[in-house]
Amino acid sequence: MSPLAGYQRLFGLTGPVYVLVGFLARLPLAMSQLGVLLLVAGTTGSYGAGGACAGALAIANAVGAPFWGGLADRIGQRSVVLTQSLAGAAGLAALLSITHVGAAWGWSAVASAVAGLMMPQVGPMARVRWRPITARGPHQKKLVDVAFSYEGAADEASFVLGPALIGLGVSVASPTAALSAAAVVLAVFGAWFALHPTARAAHVAHETTAEGVVRLLTPALLVLCVSQLVIGTVFGSVQTGTSVLATEVGRPGLTGYFHALLGVGSVVAGLSMAALPDRFALPHRLRWFAVALLVLAAPLMLVDSLGMLAPVLLVLGVSIAPYMITTFQLGERITHASRVGAAMTMLAAATGLGYALGAAIAGQLADWNGQRPAFAVTVAAGVVAVLVSWSSSRLLTRAEARGHTSG
């Protein structure tokens, strides 16, 4: 089955409306992180404060994600994601109100955390739905792989369009207008995604495969969480370094556009993942994509202008989606069907924690000496990715084999 035929067959199972809604529903999370950073940094004059608030949103989202994922495994996605979408939108509105009454930025950090705690992880929830969706037709294994390639590319596309929308909102109006738009999108499309019939299908699949208490936190899954922590650190540090460089040249509104370049190459590479042969095993893919991440991140240390930054970000993105897609594919394969929701949200949570870590460290270093030490955090994350993936390859191979045999 060619990649194009795989995508056509996959989307034919759900129809184009579901694909569009699932994509739009994940935009607010991508928009809110940069939106909060620019909003708070603009009102306080400190990138440390902006990074801390954006990090608070990401950390709270990461802490809450496994709880919401586990709850969705037990009672279904419809009520859980609906509650999160409406409450998350209200949380963003509360953050805007607190920021504009002139309160200390610490209160903005608290409001950011509350908003982040409630916002849904749409990408992981969408991944859970694809196995029961594809059960209605032949070639399920291949279609699930195609689905994960699409979801990885969709996540990356959301981090292209999300920051770009924030940049457009800042350029045309203000960070307030941009973040308000994120709240509206979350309330409308998050609720639509929650109520789509595929949510019910995913829960039925859980009910018919659950076999008592199944262990979730295995050594292999913890390794994959560290892998996603690394990618989150890349996102947070690149976003902060880009924001600093754009501000230094007097064009802070360009931050979103430049950060979006990271996702352009990533989307293309992610969609191409469906063409990789099965004999290129997932643990081996993770190792080599980690090497690519490190090699392509190194040129960031030479960047001193926006003109130099653009091609570096575009090329670096080629390594991002393949690395993430492989991690989520391994997570789905090594986890029992009744706990996949919790596993997917744990991986997403690790990404959020990494974003918070990267944004906070890079923000503090940027306050000290500009964008270069912020980008050094990105390179350091690449080193960690290589060490983790190469040292854990045998563990992941054994875990994947057990997952295949246990079903």
User: pLDDT tens, 182-207?
Assistant: 999 999 999 999 999 888 876 665 55
What is the model's pLDDT at position 72? 87
Average pLDDT over every residue of 34-63: 81
What are the structural domains of the chain? 3-406 (1.20.1250.20)
User: pLDDT tens, 201-220?
Assistant: 766 655 555 455 556 778 99
The model's confidence at residue 41, banded by pLDDT at 50, 70 and 90, is: confident
Instruction: Report which of 37, 188, 182, 204 is spatially closest to residue 128, judged by C-alpha positions.
Output: 204
What is the model's pLDDT at position 206? 57
Mean confidence (pLDDT) of the chain: 84
Instruction: Report which of 16, 178, 18 is spatially closest to residue 92, judged by C-alpha positions.
Output: 178
Residues 116, 33 contacting (CB under 8 angstroms): no
DSSP string, 52-111: HHHHHHHHHHHHHHHHHHHHHHHH-HHHHHHHHHHHHHHHHHHHHHHHHTT--HHHHHHH
The model's confidence at residue 1, banded by pLDDT at 50, 70 and 90, is: low
Q: Under the phi-then-psi rule, with left for phi > 0, alpha for psi from -120 to 50, and beta for the rest, what region is 139?
A: left
User: pLDDT tens, 51-64?
Assistant: 788 878 888 888 89
Average pLDDT over every residue of 348-375: 84
What is the model's pLDDT at position 288? 92
d(CA 152, CA 326): 9
What is the model's pLDDT at position 207? 54
The model's confidence at residue 87, banded by pLDDT at 50, 70 and 90, is: very high
Q: Residue 303 phi/psi, 5° resolution? A: -75, 130
pLDDT exceeds cutoff 70 at 266? yes
Number of neighbours of residue 172 by Cβ within 10 angstroms = 10
Q: Give the rounded distance of the alpha carbon of 163 from its chain centre.
A: 13
For the chain, give the percent of residues with pLDDT over 90. Answer: 28
Average pLDDT over every residue of 76-82: 91
Q: Which amino acid is at 93?
A: A
User: pLDDT tens, 310-359?
Assistant: 899 989 988 988 999 999 989 888 887 778 888 888 898 888 788 878 88
Q: What is the largest CA-CA distance in the chain?
A: 59
Residues 59, 146 contacting (CB under 8 angstroms): no
What is the model's pLDDT at position 306? 85
The model's confidence at residue 296, banded by pLDDT at 50, 70 and 90, is: very high
C-alpha separations of 286 from 190, 220, 290, 307, 385 in Å = 31, 13, 6, 31, 9
d(CA 282, CA 288): 10
Residues 155, 332 contacting (CB under 8 angstroms): no
